[in-house]
Amino acid sequence: MVLSSSSNNTRFYTRKIIKAFVRCAGEKGLTGFLMPGKPGVACLEGPESSINDFLRITRTQLFASVAPSSRKMKLIHHESITSESRCFDSFSEVEMACLSGTHKRKDLTDLGELQRFLKNAGCGHAFSLIFNN
């Protein structure tokens, strides 16, 4: 399992890049999810060679049209797992509720919802790996 996070993730705000990211992950046989927003989070499960190939394609092709200052993707955690221990059946985009109220940004993800999502998927430990790193 590879966890990636970005607090400056303008690259995940366009539908075109989100769709290409999800499609490419599926083509590489990866499972997991992409959560656009702020922060953006991606979880990749699969063979290490497939993950490395996916990350290479993502950084060189999918993000080619994105300004370099917006391409930041921090790999947070890398863990070897077996096919049987994957938490997800496929790779998909997940949308979490955004915080509302008086904050000027309307795209701040409700991290409590993300924490519940990870726990229900059987990888609740990932939340602390992402945000306590």
Dihedral sign, Cα of residue 65, residue 77, residue 97, residue 99: negative
| Residue 10 pLDDT > 60 | no
Which range (36-40, 57-61, 77-81, 102-106) has the least confidence?
Answer: 102-106
Lowest average pLDDT, out of 6-15, 42-51, 119-128, goes to: 6-15
- How far, in Å, CA of 58 to CA of 100, rounded? 31
Average pLDDT over residues 93-117: 78
- Structure tokens belonging to residue 56: 């290479």
What phi and psi, each to the nearest 5 degrees, are found at residue 37?
125, -160
Rounded Cα–Cα distance for residues 98 and 31 (Å): 24
**Global pTM value:** 0.82
Q: Is the pLDDT of residue 97 over 50?
A: yes
Mean pLDDT computed over every residue of the chain: 80
Region 62-86: mean pLDDT is 73
CB–CB of 12/36 below 8 Å?
A: yes
CA 56 to chain centre: 15
Residue 1 has pLDDT above 60, yes or no: yes
Q: Is the pLDDT of residue 133 over 60?
A: no
Is residue 21 within 8 Å of 62, Cβ to Cβ? yes
Return the higher-pLDDT residue of 26 and 55: 26
pLDDT of residue 113: 92
92 phi/psi in degrees, rounded to 5: -150, 165
